[in-house]
Chains A and B, each alone.
Chain A
Amino acid sequence: MSTTELPRKETNVLKGHEGAVLAARFNGDGNYCLSCGKDRTIRLWNPHRGIHVKTYKSHGREVRDVHVSPDNSKLISCGGDRQIFYWDVATGRVIRKFRGHDSEVNAVKFNEYASVVVSAGYDQSLRAWDCRSHSTEPIQIIDSFADSVMSVCLTKTEIIGGSVDGTVRTFDIRIGREISDDLGQPVNCISMSNDGNCILASCLDSTLRLLDRSTGELLQEYKGHTCKSYKLDCCLTNTDAHVAGGSEDGFIYFWDLVDASVVSRFRAHSSVVNAVCFPLSLLFDGTQKKS
């Protein structure tokens, strides 16, 4: 994707949330998107036509993260009520609730087969939950983090968590090793590159850092935006050519992956861009804009 193809203006505004939107996620094929926010709901949208499809209500407090299973049949969501909800997409019913986190749950993800859900909590732990059995106990608790775990990524064999203690920890299930990459700055969001070789970590010193996963080397730093106190999402574009990130001043930034120059930036929202899920950005004030 060349620079000219980068989104510059909003194509649709998805209105409906009555409060800040905390996360927005596309489904696997990009036809639908999910958003969740402080109004304790999860909403399913067709972003291309700007239609609100469904609302999922059950959370007792704000919903912090949501994720769709690869087959689009299940949702997983988590939030401030310390619970993880396992939803059936079609009926909108909660299939299961996973309780066990000692405090708020920041992020949640399905694994490849949608058999395991891994959640990251403010209680400094990652917890893996079994979707297949009926037990509500976590099948694994990873508590080697020293601070709140903000974000989690899953590959086929690994669990990667980014924490406020400044580490990005990779837990390789296949060889049973934990690899800790200390960035020295609180990490509030991590996202994988599409080729799976790099990790983009958004740090609270207003810097995005690109790490090589195999060696732990710092490949590039992306600066220019403001990110000091909010959990701002960041991601790579589909071609891995650019890095996208929100800013607390309402801008969305695009950097060139290699030379780290700001390729594009535009004002998307009047307030903090809370979630960027390429090519979507979400606004703090309750509207969603597709750009």
Chain B
Amino acid sequence: MDSDEEDYVFYGTPIEREEGITSRKKKAVAEASGQLRTLPSWKQEVRDEEGRRRFHGAFTGGYSAGYFNSVGSKEGWTPQSFVSSRKSRAEVRQQSIFNFLDEDEKAVAPAALMGVRQRLLGGRMGLEVLIRWENLPEHEASWESYDVVNAQFPDFHLEDKVRFWGGGNDKPPVRFTYARRRRRGGFSEGAEQEVESARQPLDERQRQEAESARQLLEEGHASKLVKGREELDGQSLGTSSQFDTFGFTAAQLALKQAEKEQKQRPSAIPGPIPDEIILPATVSIGVKLLLKMGWRRGRSIKDSHADSLYNARREARKAFLAFSSDDASAQAAPSESIQGDLENYIEQPANDDVRSSQGTHVYTLTPKQDLHGLGFDPYKNAPEFRERKRSRISGNRDPEYRKAPSMKNNLFGFKSGKVAPGFGIGALEELDAEDEDVFASDYDFEETYVQEIDEPSTKLTVDSKRKLITNEQGVLPGFRIASKADYQPERFDPPLVPKDFEPHHKFPGPLETDFRVADAGPPEVSPPVDSNLRLLIDGVATLVARCGKLFEDLSREKNQSNPLFSFLRGGNGHDYYTRKLWEARLKRADQNKYQLDEKVSPSMQKLTAESRGHILGERPLERSFKDASSSVASSDSVHLQYNLSDTFTKPKSLSGLPEVEKPFNDDPAKQERFELFLKEKYQGGLRTTQFSGASHMSEAARACERLDFEAAAETIEKGKEGKESKMPAQHITDYLATGAMQFTSGGLQKAEDPHAEDSITKKLYPKREEYQWRPSPILCKRFDLIDPYMGKPPPAPRTRSKIDTLIFTPDSIKTKNIEETVTENRDSFATPQSDTQGKSKDVADKELEVEVEVENVERPVDLYKAIFSDDSDVEEDTTSNLNKAEHPEKKAEAANTALSRLMAGDFLESLGKELGLEVPPEPPYLKNKSVASTSEKEVNENSRYDKIQSIEDNHGIPYNQDMSQDGRHKKNELIHGTASKHGSIHSEIGSSENKNDLVNLEKNPQEDRKDKMRHRRLSSSLSSEDERSRRHSRRRRHRSSDSDSDSSSGGRHHSRSKSKRKKNSREKSTSSGTRHSKHHDRRSRDSPSRSRHGSAKEHTKAKREKH
């Protein structure tokens, strides 16, 4: 085969067997398109195993049926499931009309309105609506006649829908629609005709058309018709498909196209193609004819005739004008006809709207080309402008036909034309008859003369003529007096005035304060004999004078029956009364005047600062400040100011002093002060300075006491609010117990009398309190609840009471001895830190850091103390101080320390000079630090130093443990121990002093460490080496947080490594020592003092060995 193939030359692609190709292709297609199942059922094909399409029966169309051309399914003929209808037998089926309808008949129910259009239906314009039908897809929607649909489906409420059918763009246009054949009724006569006419062969139709046209021509309107036809052609050509809203031209074009095609193509089926038969004729032949004759849509047929008639006449007139001479007499001859013509002409524009209403009703859908909003008509109140615009648009197209009538009606008509070329007359000004008369006649001649040549000018003359005519009528040019005004201004009748209405307002009882004094009073009348009556009259008169006439009326009414008041009604003593009244008024007027002068009312005068203060609940200032003066004298002005700001407290509504409880029973003086405090608190007003005036108390103590009082008062109040006389004396002390113990001089801790407690508890409990509590989110989740604190930041830890916070107040509150210890501690703190630094950093760095730290050495220590040390520290410190004072050894030691420090300082200075460094004049602890730094230099010394330190550290542990386990009374012993140990160390150092000066260095850290140990002993909770190192680092962090973050992180790291190193060295050097310490731990529990001594001795021994 190969050789054969070489011999032949193949052109093109070989033809494959069709069967193979198709089957493969189909398969591929099927594969590509996924499963055939996905296709709609009518697209699915039955295939055999090889993928070949199976045909069956006589059909070649490829229809398939059943399961592989068999009936049934894969399972065979058995039905899939059997549903018994036995039970549902009793069900009564409601029969509806749909049960009797075919499938497609059922569909006939409108589902939605999708569009509205206007269309020529049976010779007149009708509305058509695009209806989507129930149970039919959208593309089955069809155009139906509005009327038909409305009549057949009244429930559809088409009228509502169409009315609200805006031309909105919210719906995509419907692409595929076709006219459904109407099934029920609906065949109007016109439509039938249309269809019939459409069925006629086209050539026949054309012939018919031509015939009718001919007939019309024969009637004698030939010229007119021709003219009209020309015009029409012009216009119909002008309507492009863009503006073909009616689809008329399109339909015609389609028809023509079909015609052409029909002619070209010889079809198998004779006659017109089915499409053409079905296609409904868009226009009836009558309409077509009329259109050809010049009738245009929207015009009545009669008018179109009139129009053409007019045109014809105009032609004639033009011709006549062209021939006629210029003189007026010559013009007079045809004037009659022209006059009539003109009148007719003038009539036309006015008729315009009328005509449209007369003829077929038209929904003119003008395409929207402007940029205005929908429904907005810019020419609503100015139709002239609209006209102008329209003319401008259409003017280009048919200047001759359109412009003439429109322009002439226009208000601006004479603007373009040279109507009144007189001077001083504006373009928009009205033309007066006189103005016109002055020039008109002269111009007329000239113009007409000139315009013999060209036509438009002729028109103008005609225009001017017409203007003259209209001016005669006294109407605006282009306007006509309406026969009936459609504008009827609505008038409203004025409100009906009641008959008994009086135009002046009368006040029922005027306050006659503006009584005119100038009036001459009634004559003097002797008072009535009855003194009682006289008094009464006097009283009434003054009252009336003050309160006005109203009072008189009132009293008169009230005492109608009372004979005593007859003077009011003109009875006995009336004269006297009037006189008295006048007098009283006079007096009052005087008084008013006086008041006006003074501008102060008598009632205002009474209001003094005191009374106002009284009203506002202030307490009058006390004249004597017995204690205040002293306190003011003693304290500075700031203090005074503080008092002043505190002076004004809000007055409490509590009427009386609350039943004073006695939480400070044991301290009568304090109780007194507390009572005073309560009084201040509840009565408000000025606070006496007496409260703060316990001059023997320090400022801090006073503040504390104040807080105590506050807390106590609060609890009292709370108890009051909860239940009457439910005063928890015990509770107050509870409150106080936390804080007061710290600051007050004891006594509070004593137990309250049990009787009071017994009586109280019954009433007191149960007591309810509420706090904030935050459940964790997961708990809420597990409880299937919504987290009430979702998204909120975690709350700050609750503080037990205000007093707790006082721990953090500055040291100035605390007593002096505390401060002493603090400074003591400061030293001890400073050194270990400098140790750690000294190990890890080089000198230059340290210089810097030292300088920084000098400033803020104090604060971190205090902070540290505040946070980490117990309150008991303070007490213990004081005791230790006492001890220190007592022991002479201690004193000696202190002296020793001072001496060594001095020596170290000297050494440091010398060293610094050697190294070329500047050593600043520093406080003692700074010196220590730099000492440590220098110690860095000597490596061999360093190691020794380490050893010493590790020993010391080992000392530290038992100390702590002893402390934590044993009571205070052992402390003295312990201190003893340390002292003796130190003594030994010192002696040892003394012996090794000959080595070199560096011994001082050693000693200094040692000494410091001793201090440190003392401190550690005080802080009770230290237990392990690890914790200690942690503390070191923490302390360091405190420090360096101020300096900078870099050094802090580095420092931490270093300190850790240092401590590690320390541990290593310790393990090396004092393996025995650790063992010792371990088991003397155990021992120390039984006899700490003994072990202490023992361990001290051991360690000193060990040290000696090392040295």
Contact = CB atoms under 8 A, between A and B. Distances in A.
Given A171-B773, A177-B771, A177-B772, A218 B785 contact: no
B786 interface: yes
Nearest to A139: B778
B768 interface: yes
Contacts of A116: 779, 782-783
Interface stretch (A35-43, A69-77, A92-100, A209-217): A209-217
A173 B772 contact: no
Interface stretch (A25-33, A81-89, A179-187, A188-196): A179-187
Contacts of A175: 788
B789 A140 contact: no
Contact of B779 (A112, A113, A139, A182): A139
A112 B767 CA distance: 29
A270 interface: no
B612 interface: no
B769 A179 contact: yes
A168 B766 CA distance: 9
B771 A180 contact: yes
A174 B786 contact: yes
A176 B778 contact: no
A183 B769 contact: no
A179 B768 contact: yes
Interface in B744-803: 761, 764-776, 778-780, 782-786, 788-789
Contact of A140 (B767, B771, B779, B788): B779
Given A181-B766, A182-B766, A183-B765, A130 B782 contact: yes
A229 interface: no
A140 B783 CA distance: 12
A178 B765 contact: no
A210 to B, nearest CB: 10
A157 B782 CA distance: 10
A176 B785 CA distance: 11
Contacts of A140: 775-776, 778-779
Interface in A10-61: none
Contacts of B767: 181-182, 184, 216
A132 interface: yes
A37 B561 CA distance: 100
Contact of A111 (B766, B776, B782): B782
Nearest to B760: A184
A100 to B, nearest CB: 14
Contacts of A181: 766-768
A34 to B, nearest CB: 23
A134 interface: no
Contacts of A139: 776, 778-779, 782
Contacts of B765: 166, 182-185, 218
A211 B780 contact: no
A176 B768 contact: no
Contacts of B774: 176
A288 B669 CA distance: 63
Nearest to B731: A182
Given A173-B785, A176-B774, A176-B789, A184 B780 contact: no
B766 A184 contact: yes
A166 B765 CA distance: 10
B779 A180 contact: no
B775 A173 contact: yes
Contacts of B770: 177-180
A97 B624 CA distance: 75
A7 B779 CA distance: 40
A206 to B, nearest CB: 15
Interface size class, chain A: 35 or more
Contact of B773 (A128, A144, A182, A184): A144
A182 B765 CA distance: 6
A182 B731 CA distance: 12
A115 interface: yes
A211 to B, nearest CB: 6
Instruction: Specify which of B766, B769, B779, B783 lies most central, judged by the most chain A CB atoms within 10 Å of its CB.
Output: B766
A64 to B, nearest CB: 23
Nearest to B784: A113
A209 B783 contact: no
Contacts of A144: 771, 773
Contacts of B766: 168, 181-184, 209, 211, 216-218
B255 to A, nearest CB: 80
A221 to B, nearest CB: 10
A90 to B, nearest CB: 24
Given A130-B778, A182-B766, A217-B766, A156 B772 contact: no
Nearest to B757: A184
B768 A216 contact: yes
Contacts of A112: 783
Interface string A135-163: 00001101010000000000011000000
Nearest to A178: B773
Interface in B591-634: none
Contacts of A176: 772-775, 788-789
Nearest to B798: A144
Contact of A173 (B764, B771, B779): B779
A184 B764 contact: yes
Contacts of B784: 113
Nearest to B730: A184
A112 B785 CA distance: 12
A211 B767 CA distance: 11
Interface string B838-863: 00000000000000000000000000
Interface in A216-270: 216-218
Nearest to A113: B784
Nearest to B769: A180
A215 B775 CA distance: 22
A103 B213 CA distance: 120
A137 to B, nearest CB: 10
A171 B779 CA distance: 12
A111 B773 contact: no
A144 B784 CA distance: 24
Nearest to B776: A140
A120 to B, nearest CB: 15
Contacts of A185: 765
Given A182-B766, A184-B766, A128 B788 contact: no
A174 B785 contact: yes
Contact of A157 (B772, B776, B785): B785
Given A157-B785, A173-B780, A174-B788, A182 B775 contact: no
A158 B786 CA distance: 13
Nearest to A168: B766
Contacts of A211: 766
Contacts of B768: 179-182, 215-216
B66 to A, nearest CB: 56
Contacts of B789: 176
A173 B774 CA distance: 8
A21 B701 CA distance: 56
Contact of B783 (A111, A178, A184): A111
A156 B773 CA distance: 17
A219 to B, nearest CB: 10
A184 B779 CA distance: 30
A258 to B, nearest CB: 19
A199 to B, nearest CB: 10
A128 B786 CA distance: 17
A209 B770 CA distance: 20
Given A173-B775, A178-B773, 13 more contacts: A112-B783, A113-B783, A140-B776, A171-B773, A174-B785, A176-B772, A176-B789, A177-B770, A179-B769, A179-B770, A182-B765, A182-B767, A216-B767
13 contacts: A113-B782, A113-B783, A116-B779, A139-B782, A171-B775, A173-B779, A177-B770, A178-B772, A178-B773, A179-B770, A183-B765, A184-B766, A185-B765
Interface of B: 761, 764-776, 778-780, 782-786, 788-789
Which 8 A-B pairs rank lowest in CB-CB distance, beginning with the nearest? A216-B768, A178-B773, A184-B765, A176-B788, A182-B767, A178-B771, A116-B782, A173-B775
